[in-house]
Amino acid sequence: MQEHVVVVGGSSGMGRALAAELVAQGSEVTIAGRSPGKLSAAGRELGVRTVAADLASEADIERLFATTGPVSHVVTTAADVGGAYQPIGTYDVHAARAAVDSKLLGPLLLAKHAAPVLEAGGSIVFTSGIAAYRPGPRASLLAALNGALASLAAALAVELAPLRVNVVSPGWVDTPIWQDVAGDAAPATLAAMAERLPVGRIGRPADIAAAIIALLRNGFVTGTVLHADGGHRLV
């Protein structure tokens, strides 16, 4: 039976790279995202099924899995973290709600509604990030959310067994989100980090796609965080 993978956040960045590689390997892929324009363009170019869904909406997630049929694996790379970058002294919790919904509650709801349609041997992969291990100024909430995903995956790996639940933790990856985070300073910021990393370069979306696929394919790995960070935790 052909493998069917649902990629939430598959219309851009790391999710899109993952969807493209899975298609190249012969998998059936469904991508979901909240931007209809990006979703339609990615669906046409990749030749995959698309479903408009916001990870922060339980109704959207429930509707997504009501239409997929049986699923082999579910991956989420989606996140809305712009409001999470704030100095603690003037923190606006309301502005950060979207980050909590998309980065933590969304993955939890994804597991809730994906588990009933996942096939035997299936798995779920969440995407966290280096902020949990090398936090910086203004990123306290993002560090907490990324760290929480490791605990969530471990708990779900026990509760949903024999389904597997894992996390991939990227380092700095050259994706469009850096324009939102650093603006015109993005190229220089990335270049400076590349010089510090043991691997001598910034990550590419294809690097993270390969790490996620490794988690999908290895049926003996569950409750684990796979670090694809170029050695960032070491410097």
Give pLDDT tens digits along the chain (235 positions): 799 999 999 999 999 999 999 999 999 999 999 999 999 999 999 999 999 999 999 999 999 999 999 999 999 999 888 788 899 999 999 988 999 999 999 999 999 999 999 999 999 999 999 999 999 899 999 999 999 999 999 999 999 999 999 999 999 999 877 766 667 788 898 999 999 999 999 999 999 999 999 999 999 999 999 999 999 999 9
What is the phi/psi pair of residue 80, to 5°?
-120, 90
CATH of 4-175+205-226, one of 3.30.590.10, 3.40.50.720, 3.60.15.10, 3.30.1330.10: 3.40.50.720
- Cα dist from 178 to 13, 82, 140, 186, 189, whole Å: 11, 11, 18, 6, 9
pTM above threshold 0.85: yes
